[in-house]
Amino acid sequence: IDPRPYGLFVNAPSLAYLMEQCQSLKILSFKNLEIDEDQCRVLGAFSRPDLEIVLDRSAITSTGTSALAEVLGRNQGPTKLEYCKIDNFVLANGLRGNSRLKSLRLRFSTNPEVGNREILAIADALKENKGLVNLDLCHDFTISDETLNTVCDSLKTHPTLEVLTLPYKWPYRGAPVAPAVLKPLIETVVDMLKVN
């Protein structure tokens, strides 16, 4: 379903009917939708192991984000979140202990201070995550050394992660980086890879 941008609203009863009647459905993908609390609860209630649920570039309301965190906390709902407009601080709670969500590409605040705090919240939650396979942390600001260290520490013992995409603009937006600056950043990533 792709009603650019955030134009179409699929109500929860219609979504529940679709998911209940289409048991042979293998992939349910929502792109550019506005998703609310009721829809998130339906996605949780009707999720099943053989159904991939993708939320792609969708706007998830405030109450929807809270409901989504609850659903993820019960290992239900989406298997992939792709660049959604969502409160990352609230979402982090749903990542703890979750083993259903396999792919996560987040949209961060363009304010570097807020963006780094969002990444730190996600990294803290990932210490308890059990199923993420693909994590994309690309964004449009410089990731701080503290944030990078925390992310790498959080992922050292992650049991399932296979793909990690770090910001392509770190540390200085494409400017030449002195070896003395680059070396500690690379060592941080290498230390993580030695353990995981």
pLDDT at 170 over 70: no
Distance CA 177, CA 153 (A): 23
Give the model's confidence band at 135: pLDDT under 50 very low, under 70 low, under 90 confident, else very high: very high
Helix (H, G, I), strand (E, B) or coil at 49: coil
Comparison of pLDDT for 140 and 29, the residue scoring more? 29
Q: Are strands 34-35 and 59-60 parallel, antiparallel or unpaired?
A: parallel
Full-model pTM: 0.86
pLDDT of residue 189: 76
Alpha helices, DSSP H only, in 48-178? 62-73, 88-95, 112-126, 145-155
Burial tier of 183 (Cβ tally within 10 Å: 0-12, 13-18, 19+): exposed
pLDDT of residue 10: 80
Rounded to a whole number of angstroms, the distance between the first and last alpha carbons of the chain is 37
